A and B are shown apart, each in its own frame.
Chain A
Amino acid sequence: MKPAASRLGSWLLLAGIAAGFLLACGEGHRAAAYSKPRAFTRFHQRISPDASFYPPYAMLEALALARWAPGKTLVIIGGNSILNGVAQPESEVWSLRLQEMLGDRYVVVNLAFRGSMAAQGGALVAESLQRRGYPVIFVANTYPHAGCGRAADGPYGYFYWQALHQGKLSDYPARTADLQRWRTARPEAERIKLAETELGARIEAVTRAQSLWVHVSYRHLFTVWNFILGRDFWRPRVWAPDNEPAAPPVEERFRHEPEAELATVRGFTETLYVPGPSGSPQLDPAWPTRLGDEIEAAFVPALRPRMLMLLSQSAPPYLERLTPAERSRNRAAYAAAARIWRDHGINTIVAGEGFAASDYFDRLHLTGEGGRKVAALVAEQITQMNSD
């Protein structure tokens, strides 16, 4: 090729790269505004980070607002796999029951993820929308010992950084200071990872590369192999329906490593106890302050009265195997945790008290029937909260 032609070709290529980049950014911004899974019920496993599908924060907001209309209250569900509806087939997901029970005046959106903490994902959407004047109620779950986590922690931490750098969150110094302290105390490798996640969120705010990519991978082509999809990994995720199986008969449940599961149930509350003056276990006196500080840092004050926290109780077959003393400590820990949450202005209920073994799929997850019971509890609370 002649030098002049080669030079022109190079300029054209570079101009093409620049134009392509700008176009992709434009498309990314467009996708961020509307792109969301079709006929959305929840982030089932095949459209979740478990299967290398990382919905951007913008998608959560797009989902929350998709069905909303003036005069309706948004009920945003956060929390973990229990509220995601793991073990409930798509048609039995508890949030559908909740929507039915609450009626048309409410729009229920299930933004819970497996392994997510109460302060993450949905909590940020609720804060952002409430700040913009939407009538919002936020529902999440946790356990007495688990607190609410930190918005920026773990695999869902990117939601926080994206929301922050897209200007969605309130300026909340308590959270900023807490995150700064927490971040500084992390090992160096984790700090580097956090910095990388935050930088990614900053870049996302400008380019919306993740929004575009998730849009393409949902509708057109996926490129990351994962064992959940196996040889169909390349298919667009719109193809992958929610295939959560129904629970097996109750006599076939609770068989998976029962001793280990029982030890976990014990650990849920035992970690909150310390030896008292007489030597017998008592609730750690430092715990209320610890949990209280966590709550104060995680949720902006304006959101707290509009929040409902569920303290998820373990399945009866495990609770029944605890000694009477352990059972009593378990009850006391749940009651104390509920008090602490309420003391910080958050409506709290223990979910699972009085439930039958058949309401559970395993140690924690609820069947469709168990989900219906939770939905009834939540609907009652929400109606009350909204009328106050």
Chain B
Amino acid sequence: MIFNTYWFIGFCAVFFPVFWLLRLPGLRRTWLLAGCAYFHYHFAGPAGVLPIVAIGIATYLLALPRIRLLCALGVVLAVATLCFYKYAVFLCHDAIGLLAPRLAADLGRQVQDLLPGAPPLAVSFFVFEFVHYQIEVYRGHEPIRRPDDFILFAIHFPSLTAGPIKRYGDYLPSLRQGLTGVSPEDVAAGATRLALGLVKKVVLADNLTLVIDFHQPQFTSLPPGQAWLFAGALSARILLDFSGYSDMAIGLSRMMGIRLPENFHYPYAATSLQDFWQRWHISLTSWIRDYIYIPLGGNRHGLARQLLNAMIVFALCGLWHGPAWNFVLWGLWHGAGLVLNHAYPRLLGPLGTRLAGLFARFPVLGWALTLLWVIPGWLLFFYEPATAWRMAVKLFTFA
């Protein structure tokens, strides 16, 4: 994590005081631009910066004339970049390989020769923001005219590493506000949020990671209570880790007077799976809803289509987290949960209606069931499917 490095402390110690002292918006904008560029270069290295610069320039230029075909081309280009850097090897080995192993091996070798050692850092976040931008312009919204506005939107340093995924329609007005003047309230609120994020990430999540990594090899021999405690720690860790990042990003932005979208809202307090996804990684969920689920038809074409759309969307959501089957299965697990969540009142007839009434009357039941779905799901998120299965069996058989 870059936010708890000495480099970043040094960066902030120089960046923020100068940002606050500069009173002219133009100068502040230039300073922010320089800071973001320097941060991105340090974070991603030259090899990681170049592809993002290339795809960024293409995105900016293709959207500028507001020609829908060019916007569509921009979307294809961005998605192709993501597929190439992040999913090419997975597609060759794990997808094509299932049908034609020899072809997959040949393709895999060729792809590997073309790919750098690792994909450009945060490429998924860049691509999602670029796709959002192209689609909004495609839908008739005004494109970003000023190149420096676009660059700041693309490489706004607090959200560069792990989001939240921004929307340019919200970001640019907030950016202008921050450039015009930062209030002490913003700085104080931002610093408090940053501190909260650091505590969540460094004190809580990182400690849980140490405990989890130590106990994981002995998971099968843990007593049932400790095994559930382990699963609970795993669930707490991902929330604290990820929401800690988001808090830091939101806090750092706020210290410049710029507001970023919220990303988490007490997700483990959700009383249904649908509720969970309205509280978990909100910027991703809303992105997927707006740019995949609704274009696929959403809930406009009957229950069966709605459920199919949910499965597709969640498989893609899983895949976005990483190029591996366990992520796809994690997405499908949640997709299946949502399908059940939606369909049971109709499928079970009067019993379903009674159950729905019961859940409405006693939200704690829904909360417990939601956790019982979400917690085993994290096993799929973190471990190979076979390992996750063994761990889940142990959890539910109390062996």
Q: Using a CB–CB distance below 8 Å, which chain A residues touch chain B?
A: 6-7, 9-11, 13-14, 17, 188, 195-196, 199-200, 203, 223-227
Contact = CB atoms under 8 A, between A and B. Distances in A.
Nearest to B188: A10
B30 interface: no
Nearest to A203: B6
A8 to B, nearest CB: 9
B10 interface: yes
Contact of B214 (A200, A203, A227): A227
B192 interface: yes
B192 A13 contact: yes
B207 A7 contact: no
Q: Which are the 4 A-B pairs with shortest beta-carbon distances?
A: A10-B188, A10-B184, A199-B6, A200-B6
Contacts of B184: 7, 10-11, 14
Interface in B45-78: 45
B7 A196 contact: yes
A203 B6 CA distance: 8
Nearest to B206: A224
Majority-rule SS of B interface residues: helix
A225 B9 contact: no
A223 B188 contact: no
Contacts of A226: 210
Which interface residue of B6, B189, B191 has the most chain A CB atoms within 10 A?
B6
Given A13-B191, A14-B191, A223-B207, A7 B183 contact: yes
16 contacts: A6-B185, A7-B183, A7-B184, A10-B184, A10-B185, A13-B192, A14-B184, A14-B187, A14-B188, A17-B191, A188-B45, A196-B6, A196-B7, A203-B10, A224-B206, A226-B210
Main SS at interface, chain A: helix
A74 B191 CA distance: 47
Nearest to A199: B6
Considering residues B9, B184, B206, which has the most beta carbons from chain A within 10 angstroms of its beta carbon? B184
Name the residue in B7, B185, B191 with the highest tally of chain A Cβ atoms < 10 Å from its Cβ.
Answer: B185
Interface in B175-210: 183-185, 187-189, 191-192, 203, 206-207, 210
Given A13-B188, A14-B184, A17-B191, 13 more contacts: A7-B183, A10-B185, A11-B184, A11-B188, A13-B192, A195-B7, A199-B7, A203-B6, A203-B9, A224-B207, A224-B210, A225-B210, A226-B210
Contacts of A7: 183-185
Interface string B1-34: 0000111011000000000000000000000000
B6 A10 contact: no
A188 B47 CA distance: 13
Contacts of A225: 207, 210-211
Interface string B211-229: 1001000000000000000
A10 B211 contact: no
A14 B194 CA distance: 13
A9 B188 CA distance: 9
A348 to B, nearest CB: 38
